[in-house]
Amino acid sequence: MADVGTSKASSPRRLSSATDSISSQSQKTIRPFELSSESTPLLLRRDENLYGTHSIRSSSVSQRSTSDSTRSSHKTKERTRLPTCISLTVLIASTLGILIFIFAAPVIVKRYAEEAAVFEPRDLSVESSTPEGIRARVQGEFTLDSSRVASRHVRVLGQFATWIAREVETGQSEVQVYLPEYGDLLIGIASLPSIKISIRDGHVNCLDFLADLAVGDVGGIRSVANDWLEGRIEHLRLRGTTTTHLKSGLLSLGMQTLSDTLTFEEKDFPALPEINITKAIAYDDNSSSQAAAVAVEVSITALFDSPFTVTIPPLGFDVLVPNCLPGDPYILVAVARTGEVEVRPRSPTNVDSYGIIKKIPNELITACPGQKSSPLDILVKNYINGLRTTIYIRGADAPSPDTPAWIVELLKSVTVPLPFMGHALDNLVKNFSMSDVNLSLPDPMAEPGTPEAQPKISALVKALIKLPEQMNFKLDVPRVRAMADVFYHDKKLGFLDLYQWLPANTTLVEDSDSLPALSVGFRMQDAPLQVTDENTLAEIIQTLILGKKAVRLRVVAAVDAEVSNRLGTFTLRKVPAEGSLSVKGK
């Protein structure tokens, strides 16, 4: 028991000593756990400190807390720094990428834009003419279509660059258009306004702007126009060049030089329109300004192969007709003018013109070298036989001071052929008859081949000439002559050669349809009949002598008529006429 008491007395001191030792060395070395001895109390309170366990655990927990707090602080800083570094890296990479595309890849982007660009014009109209050219309104849709780019590398880089830029704005610029085949002939300069467009792939930009187009070298353009009219151009290249300032948002892309070339084949050139004459009338001009003239009004309808709407100002023209030979200069016959004309795509265009014929040129009515026909004869013959007839139009002084001088200068050296179909006038001479006919038989004692050996015909010839509805002026036929074939029962008897001019009388009458006509009469006296079939002549004589009845002969003639009007006198040759005559024997 004494031992026990001793143990009880000494135990607190030992525990207190141990605790102090552990407390003082808690930061150094922790004593190992010791097994209990016989003096150790059997029961311990939970709040008692056994061998410094609580202090050790508290110190350990404190150390761990401090360590964990330090690590947590480091991790928090690391987590904060990592997104920042990533963001900075992406920003720097994006900036470098933009700089690369701006400075290192313009060629690729330019190639992408050239191949992907699609412009579909919706309407192109000429708002007005200017002293230097015209002012045009352009409406259309612009798109970048990446599917048109052949190279995948260019397509991807181009899509990325345009996705970054999104929009591009051009400054005011001028586009020069040249013809390389004609020594880089400058044909025009287009002044374009500032245009802002979206360059995202597939985005449709609706454009509507005004552009001033100035004419370049007028003399060179005339040469090109003449080559086209004469069919000497198989293909034509146009090269457009411009230098413009580009920017995307606040980022300036600097001055950029753009150039492109278009090639037009012969099939791409506009064709000359088919002309449909809807009205043509000629009448005596009784205005005081023209003492002796014939006025002509012509209305035509044509479908011009024009891709745009244009208003043509009043123009003046010279009207010419072909000469004897293709290489001879054309013959001026009239001057004409037109009013304002509006041309619309895919719509018929009506053109009204008014012309004046002041005189009949001598070269028009003079026989061609080695021929009996004149240029007028050829023209009239083609027309009345329904053949293709061509006249020529050449620019002249404009009737209005508002017409720009550059248009007048350009048109003065351009001659445009206007082909049209004639109107068959087979019944121009509606009635060709002979009355008071007398057939004189040949002298049987005359030598063959002499005039006395030929029959002779005397008659009063009358012809009713139908006047075309387009002619509403006075005409007179003072003289006629003819060459006529004579038939009996569809067998040619011979021909009448009225080579000498015979005086004629002309009267303006109305035909059976109450339309104006010209009645021409002349007397044929003892005209020799050149017999080509003696058997037919014998049959006719036998019928006249034995049958004692009239013989009907058919006459097919080509009549030359000398025509006179207020412009002068000219000859219409080989006007077809057909009729019959009844011959009675004496």
Per the structure, the count of domains in the chain is 3
Residues 540 and 347: their CA atoms lie apart, in Å, by 65
Strand, coil or helix: what is 359?
coil
CB atoms within 10 A of CB 299: 14
477/415 same-domain check? no
- Confidence at 492, pLDDT banded by 50, 70, 90: very high
Residues 246 and 168: their CA atoms lie apart, in Å, by 7
Give the residue-averaged pLDDT of 439-453: 77
Q: Within 13 Å, how many C-alpha atoms sit on residue 562's CB side?
A: 13
**Structure confidence by residue, pLDDT tens digits, 355-398:** 998 888 899 988 898 888 889 888 888 877 778 888 899 999 88
Strand, coil or helix: what is 296?
strand
Given a contact cutoff of 8 angstroms between Cβ atoms, the answer to whether 461 and 524 are in contact is: yes
Residue 57 in this model has a pLDDT that exceeds 50: no
DSSP bridge pairs for 420: 389
Residue 490 in this model has a pLDDT that exceeds 90: no
133/222 same-domain check? yes
Residue 160 in this model has a pLDDT that exceeds 70: yes
**Among 265, 300, 331, which residue terminates a domain?**
265
- What distances in angstroms separate CA 232 from CA 393, 403, 417, one per listed residue? 20, 30, 15
291/208 same-domain check? no
Which pLDDT does position 330 carry in this prediction?
94
Q: What Rg value do the Cα atoms of the chain yield, rounded?
A: 55
Which pLDDT does position 320 carry in this prediction?
93
Q: Is residue 438 part of a domain?
A: yes
Residue 317 in this model has a pLDDT that exceeds 90: yes
132/237 same-domain check? yes
Q: Which range of residues forms the domain containing residue 257?
A: 109-265
439/397 same-domain check? no
Give the residue-averaged pLDDT of 311-336: 91
Residues 331 and 394: their CA atoms lie apart, in Å, by 11
**Among 265, 288, 303, which residue terminates a domain?**
265
Given a contact cutoff of 8 angstroms between Cβ atoms, the answer to whether 205 and 197 are in contact is: yes
Residue 69 in this model has a pLDDT that exceeds 70: no
Lowest mean pLDDT among 63-77, 411-425, 514-528: 63-77
For the chain, the distance separating the N- and C-terminal CA atoms, rounded to the nearest angstrom, is: 206
- Confidence at 276, pLDDT banded by 50, 70, 90: confident
Residue 291 in this model has a pLDDT that exceeds 50: yes
- Is pTM beyond 0.75? Reply is no
Q: Which amino acid is at 395?
A: G
- Confidence at 35, pLDDT banded by 50, 70, 90: very low
253/320 same-domain check? no
DSSP bridge pairs for 349: 302
Which pLDDT does position 62 carry in this prediction?
47
Q: Answer with the residue of higher pLDDT: 9 or 532.
A: 532
Helices (H), 48-177: 53-99, 106-116, 152-165
Considering only the C-alpha atoms of the chain, give the largest distance between any 2 of them, rounded to a whole number of Å: 211
**Among 376, 402, 421, which residue terminates a domain?**
421
Which pLDDT does position 253 carry in this prediction?
67
305/205 same-domain check? no
Which pLDDT does position 288 carry in this prediction?
54
Residues 459 and 437: their CA atoms lie apart, in Å, by 4
Among 462, 460, 442, residue whose Cα is nearest residue 452: 442
Tell me the average pLDDT of the chain. 76
Which pLDDT does position 120 carry in this prediction?
79
Residue 489 in this model has a pLDDT that exceeds 80: yes
Which pLDDT does position 96 carry in this prediction?
47
- Confidence at 12, pLDDT banded by 50, 70, 90: very low
Q: Answer with the residue of higher pLDDT: 64 or 496.
A: 496
Which pLDDT does position 116 carry in this prediction?
83
CB neighbour list of residue 141: distance below 8 Å, 6 or more residues apart:
119, 120, 122, 204, 205, 206, 207
290/256 same-domain check? no
DSSP bridge pairs for 295: 283, 356
Residue 18 in this model has a pLDDT that exceeds 80: no
β 235-248/185-192 pair status: unpaired
Q: Is residue 572 part of a domain?
A: yes
- Confidence at 290, pLDDT banded by 50, 70, 90: low
Q: Answer with the residue of higher pLDDT: 554 or 285.
A: 554
Q: Is residue 9 part of a domain?
A: no
Residue 129 in this model has a pLDDT that exceeds 60: yes
Among 454, 500, 505, 457, residue whose Cα is nearest residue 481: 500
Which pLDDT does position 576 carry in this prediction?
83
In order, the DSSP letters of 200-268 are: SBTPPEEEEEEEEEEE--HHHHHHHHHHHHTT--SEEEEEEEEEEEEEETTEEEEEEEEEEEEEEEGGG
210/322 same-domain check? no
CB neighbour list of residue 504: distance below 8 Å, 6 or more residues apart:
477, 478, 479, 480, 520, 521, 522
Given a contact cutoff of 8 angstroms between Cβ atoms, the answer to whether 529 and 455 are in contact is: yes
Give the residue-averaged pLDDT of 262-266: 78
Residue 211 in this model has a pLDDT that exceeds 50: yes
- Confidence at 84, pLDDT banded by 50, 70, 90: low
